[in-house]
């Protein structure tokens, strides 16, 4: 805002100087015309030429007009010199006019000298003293003003260069993030315009930098921006917001949406383009998120959020797609915002519950473990799928208190079963955010001590992605947990990195075959061979192998034939409440402790909620996240 006010102040100052210039020209012209008798009409050329010089947009025309005005004075002074006093009072303004026209040049000084020679050529000897003093004064003033204007021009030019550099991305030479927000503040001051923002998110530039080096990544980016500029030219303004995100602002007074649609189609043609970089070809793809300012009620902050949401939706849909922010996304955004707000109070309001999916031994069909899965039966929004709220919880760091609650509740339930004579190992999923920003080891140890739970009845499940994001931190925590006696499982094995290196170094006890392989292991030979390979590898490494998402007897027959140890899935049971899970367990061989008898008889409030809700397969898949 301060920069904009400064620009307005400079504009007003320039207008004031122009007004003084016009007044000076009029005063000089009045002197020329009123003090001459023979060639009054000839001097009318002077103000016309001076005004032409002021209004000329090119330097060449400005110089020609100034030369004409100077010639009028010089020639007129030769034919009919003015009185000394008249010249002394008025013509001091002439060099200042030339300084305004040509700041930092020698035009004003040359004009002063020529003016003295032409006007004082017939001056009587008795006036030479005054003439000398006036000549020196005029030349000194002109010289001083010229030198000052010269340095002022240099300073202004340098300031402009610094300003441009501060508003320009040094790599791609397009406007940067600072320039974007500066222009964004000015948008609200323009009446009659509507705007569309086209946010461009590069999807694989990071991989290029990692695999081919940042130097080649920079070259690729320059080539991409060069093509982008050729498309956008005169249609919008391009900014680089972050390392991998650009934004194009499109404006129009009538149909800005149609203009933006044409531009989006052109930009989309660049997707998956091949670029020649350092004697090799590199591909670059991106996603587009598009939002209209008027759809955000001309609120630029909301407009920016809309573009971000559209871009995220485009990326989740798949690469090389363009997503416009519309009513469906608006409703989704409203729901996500409400979920984000409600998450902070969900634990205190006792809205979360845990359900448990049995893990069954393939050899004897006995339940040997359980996977704890979080559920959120919201009183107003209804049943919220983990697909919705877990991602939001991870982005807002709410996953940390939620994750702690899950560990605590899982240990409490495992202890209850243990006190009843059931040795059920309960598995809990831990996300990468928890490993990155929480002390998982310390909290697990405290929970085990709090409930006096044997450590072998708790299992921590991590995904391959979690492991690869922070391998050293995750590995260190898992080693400490294993020293306590807690087992470690790799969830969704085979869908991400499947690096054998971490199986070598990480103390992993269990491999869980991802459901996507189990789904088609009966029909597709490839998936069956992958299932066989994972099972054989696990057995060779002395790991327990669990098949996830077993839904048919045919699938169970395949994993059983291949030698899998355990399975879980809808064939045996969907995720159920703790009370329902207990009913599936065989009678314990010993009497349960009396102090816990009451707990098994009374259904908790959370379990009542679970029993009251049906969980269709499409709403609650077999995973916690």
pLDDT at residue number 590? 54
User: Does 204 have pLDDT greater than 70?
Assistant: yes
Return the SS3 of 125. Answer: helix
Q: Which of 215, 294, 302, 291 is nearest to 253 (CA)?
A: 294
DSSP 293: T
More reliable by pLDDT, 165 or 195: 195
pLDDT at residue number 523? 92
Per-residue pLDDT averaged across 21-38, rounded?
A: 78
User: Does 577 have pLDDT greater than 90?
Assistant: yes
pLDDT band at 592 (very low <50, low <70, confident <90, very high): very low
pLDDT at residue number 611? 41
Q: Which of 222, 17, 195, 219 is nearest to 101 (CA)?
A: 17
More reliable by pLDDT, 27 or 611: 27
Per-residue pLDDT averaged across 213-223, rounded?
A: 89
Strand duo 353-361 + 245-252: pairing:
unpaired
Distance CA 562, CA 266 (A): 52
Name the one residue in this structure whose structure tokens are 């002074």.
77
Distance CA 25, CA 161 (A): 33
Per-residue pLDDT averaged across 529-539, rounded?
A: 92
Query: For residue 252, what are the β-bridge partners?
Result: 194
CB 421 within 8 A of CB 592: yes
Query: For residue 489, what are the β-bridge partners?
Result: 461, 510
pLDDT at residue number 205? 85
Query: In the chain, what percentage of residues exceed pLDDT 70?
Result: 78
Per-residue pLDDT averaged across 514-532, rounded?
A: 92
Q: For the chain, give the mean pLDDT.
A: 81
pLDDT band at 133 (very low <50, low <70, confident <90, very high): low
User: Does 401 have pLDDT greater than 80?
Assistant: yes
Per-residue pLDDT averaged across 166-185, rounded?
A: 88
Q: Which CATH superfamily is domain 177-325 in?
A: Reverse transcriptase/Diguanylate cyclase domain (3.30.70.270)
User: In whole angstroms, how far apart are CA 225 and each of 177, 197, 395, 467, 500?
Assistant: 15, 17, 30, 35, 39
Q: Which of 545, 589, 540 is nearest to 564 (CA)?
A: 545
pLDDT at residue number 144? 66
pLDDT at residue number 517? 92
Q: Would you say how long the chain is, in residues?
A: 625
More reliable by pLDDT, 613 or 53: 53
Torsion sign over Cα 378, 384, 386, 391: negative
Distance CA 513, CA 509 (A): 13
Of the segments 156-170, 272-286, 480-494, 567-581, which one has the largest average pLDDT value? 567-581
User: Does 160 have pLDDT greater than 80?
Assistant: no
More reliable by pLDDT, 362 or 93: 362
User: Does 150 have pLDDT greater than 90?
Assistant: no
Distance CA 413, CA 482 (A): 21
Class of domain 339-583: alpha beta
Q: Which of 33, 623, 129 is nearest to 385 (CA)?
A: 623
Q: Which of 85, 79, 91 is nearest to 37 (CA)?
A: 79
Distance CA 24, CA 22 (A): 5
Torsion sign over Cα 440, 465, 199, 225: positive
User: Does 531 have pLDDT greater than 60?
Assistant: yes
Per-residue pLDDT averaged across 72-98, rounded?
A: 68
pLDDT tens-place string over residues 55-68: 888 888 888 888 88
pLDDT tens-place string over residues 314-347: 887 766 678 999 877 878 777 888 888 888 888 8
Per-residue pLDDT averaged across 169-188, rounded?
A: 86
Q: Which of 428, 422, 398, 423 is nearest to 410 (CA)?
A: 428
pLDDT at residue number 600? 40
Return the SS3 of 279. Answer: coil
pLDDT at residue number 606? 40
User: Does 124 have pLDDT greater than 70?
Assistant: no
DSSP run (H or E) holding 196: strand 194-202
User: Does 625 have pLDDT greater than 50?
Assistant: no
Strand duo 367-378 + 280-284: pairing:
unpaired
User: Does 89 have pLDDT greater than 80?
Assistant: no
pLDDT at residue number 496? 59
pLDDT at residue number 67? 82
pLDDT band at 472 (very low <50, low <70, confident <90, very high): confident
Q: Where are the domains of the chain?
A: 1-166, 177-325, 339-583
More reliable by pLDDT, 106 or 447: 447
| 193 Cβ neighbours under 8 A, 6+ residues apart | 187, 251, 252, 253, 256
């Amino acid at each position: 805002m301060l920069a904009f006010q400064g620009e307005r102040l400079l504009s007003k100052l320039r207008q004031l100087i122009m007004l003084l210039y016009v007044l000076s020209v009029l005063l000089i012209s009045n002197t020329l015309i009123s003090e001459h008798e023979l060639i009054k009409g000839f001097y009318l050329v002077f103000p016309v030429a001076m005004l032409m010089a002021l209004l000329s947009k090119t330097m060449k025309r400005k110089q020609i007009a100034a030369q004409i005005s100077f010639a009028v004075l010089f020639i007129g002074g030769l034919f009919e010199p003015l009185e000394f006093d008249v010249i002394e009072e008025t013509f001091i303004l002439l060099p200042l006019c030339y300084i305004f026209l040509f700041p930092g040049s020698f035009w004003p000084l040359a004009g002063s000298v020529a003016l003295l020679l032409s006007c004082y050529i017939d001056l009587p000897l008795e006036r030479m003293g005054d003439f000398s003093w006036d000549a020196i004064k005029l030349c000194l003033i002109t010289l001083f003003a010229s030198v000052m204007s010269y340095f002022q021009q240099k300073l202004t030019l340098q300031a402009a260069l610094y300003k441009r550099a501060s508003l320009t991305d040094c790599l791609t030479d397009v406007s940067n993030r600072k320039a974007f927000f500066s222009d964004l503040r000015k948008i609200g001051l323009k009446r009659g315009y509507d705007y569309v923002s086209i946010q461009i998110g590069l999807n694989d530039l990071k991989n290029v930098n990692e695999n081919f080096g940042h130097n080649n990544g920079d070259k690729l980016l320059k080539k991409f921006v060069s093509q982008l500029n050729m498309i956008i030219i005169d249609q919008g303004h391009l900014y680089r917001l972050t390392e991998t995100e650009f934004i194009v602002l499109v404006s129009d007074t009538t149909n800005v949406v149609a203009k933006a649609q044409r531009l989006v189609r052109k930009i989309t043609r660049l997707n998956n383009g091949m670029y020649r970089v350092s004697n090799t070809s590199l591909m670059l793809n991106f996603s587009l998120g598009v939002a209209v300012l008027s759809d955000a009620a001309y609120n630029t902050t909301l407009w920016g959020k809309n573009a971000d949401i559209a871009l995220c939706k485009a990326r989740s849909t798949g690469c090389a797609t363009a997503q416009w922010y519309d009513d469906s996304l608006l409703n989704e955004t409203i729901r996500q915002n409400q979920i984000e707000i409600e998450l902070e109070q969900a634990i205190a309001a006792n809205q979360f519950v845990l359900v448990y999916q049995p893990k069954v031994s393939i050899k004897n069909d006995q339940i040997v473990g359980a996977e704890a899965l979080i559920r959120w039966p919201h009183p107003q929004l209804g049943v919220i799928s983990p697909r919705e709220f877990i991602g939001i919880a991870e982005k807002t760091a709410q996953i940390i208190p939620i994750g702690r609650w899950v560990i605590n509740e899982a240990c409490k339930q495992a202890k209850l079963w243990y006190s009843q004579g059931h040795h059920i190992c309960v598995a809990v999923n831990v996300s990468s955010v928890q490993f990155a920003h929480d002390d998982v080891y310390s909290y697990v140890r405290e929970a085990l001590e709090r409930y006096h739970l044997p450590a072998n009845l708790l299992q921590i499940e991590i995904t391959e992605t979690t492991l690869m994001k922070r391998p050293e931190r995750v590995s260190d925590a898992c080693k400490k947990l294993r020293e306590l006696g807690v087992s470690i499982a790799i969830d969704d094995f085979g869908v991400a990195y499947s690096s054998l290196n971490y199986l070598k170094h990480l103390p992993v006890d269990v491999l869980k075959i991802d459901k996507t392989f189990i789904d088609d292991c009966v029909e597709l030979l490839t998936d069956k061979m992958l299932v066989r390979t994972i099972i054989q590898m696990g057995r060779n490494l002395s790991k327990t192998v669990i098949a996830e998402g077993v839904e048919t007897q045919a699938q169970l027959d395949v994993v059983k034939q291949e030698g899998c140890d355990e399975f879980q899935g809808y064939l045996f049971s969907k995720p159920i409440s703790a009370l329902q899970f207990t009913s599936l367990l065989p009678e314990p061989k010993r009497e349960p402790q009396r102090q816990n008898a009451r707990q098994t008889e009374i259904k908790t409030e959370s379990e009542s909620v679970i029993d009251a809700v049906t969980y269709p397969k499409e709403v609650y898949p077999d995973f916690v996240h």
